[in-house]
Amino acid sequence: DCPCQSAGVADHHAALKFTASDNGFVLQDFNSPHGTFVNGCQVQNAAVGVSPGDILRFGAGGASFELVVDGATQVREEEALSGWARGAAGHVPHPPLRKRPMSAWARSVATTVPPGAFSRTSAVRPVSTSVSGDGASGVGEAPSLGTHDADFLPQEKVMLGKMAPTICPQGEKLLQLEKEIGRLSGLERESKQKDAVIRDLQDEIAAMAKALAQAAARNEVELTQKLLTFDQELGAKTEEIKALREQISNLQKGSSQIFSHSLYERDLEIGRLQKESEKLKRDHALAAGLVISLQREIAGKEQKIQQLKQEVEKMKKENREKDNQLAVVSAKCSRIKEEMKRELGDREVIA
């Protein structure tokens, strides 16, 4: 066992085995909570083939390890030595990183491995090796390989190193769909907030319209009463003028001096009454203009209410279109997940 004290590593996380039939290594994940990552692709509750140069990471936030084979079979050793550059004395040559084929991964999820350099290395035997997170260690027995001696089995070295992030196409699609769903969810929340604001505005407009209607009714009643009062006063003044004229006619039969003085006073009274009559007419005209202005204002408010209603209908239509888009995106996401599940099933069968 190789103890690994990292976040997200289970007690019995994974096992690395050498298979004589394939003459290679197989990584088995024991259904760990966060899975095991091979070259940036997640493997969970599945087995995949690995080869020297692959980058292994146990858990979501664990350290990265590079699989390096020190002693391989004669043929693999010759191939490795022919392709690797000789280093300084005592330095183990590392083969170049190779990308695993898509069919060798049981499940691929887009992930990013933080780059970092580590100074600690751990060498293990290519026997049944398990990675644990509790720090306990134990040595498993090497499997029987026919006439081959266990001493000739290749040894592996799991080395911490830098790892370049690898993003799978399916993972990119899932990330794009998740971003789109998040954006549509934000639009939906914004639309709900706008609906609440629109409802508040509609209530306020209704209250304003009601207040305007009540004010217009009150003003109309007051104006009608004032006009009736003005008409009554005008009638009274007219009768008074008639009476004064009759008095003037009667006074004309008297002395001319008294008649002239009385006529002068009556003329003054008539002028005053005419001025009051003109003032009443002007007040009447102002009241009529005020009524017309209020009617125009009410018409403008009604037009604004109609515009707001049209905007509300437009926003509701946009919300329905957004809901349809969200449903289409959700359906696409579900379909892609189903396709990935089927593809993963096929890959598990192939693996």
Counting as low any pLDDT under 70, the low residues of the chain are 1-8, 10-11, 70-169, 253-257, 259
| pLDDT at residue 3, as a whole number | 64
| pLDDT at residue 259, as a whole number | 66
CATH 1.10.287 intervals, the chain? 174-344
| pLDDT at residue 43, as a whole number | 86
| pLDDT at residue 280, as a whole number | 92
| pLDDT at residue 268, as a whole number | 92
Tokens representing 263 are: 């006529």
pTM of the model: 0.24
| pLDDT at residue 255, as a whole number | 63
| pLDDT at residue 176, as a whole number | 81
| pLDDT at residue 48, as a whole number | 87
Q: What is the CATH number of domain 174-344?
A: 1.10.287
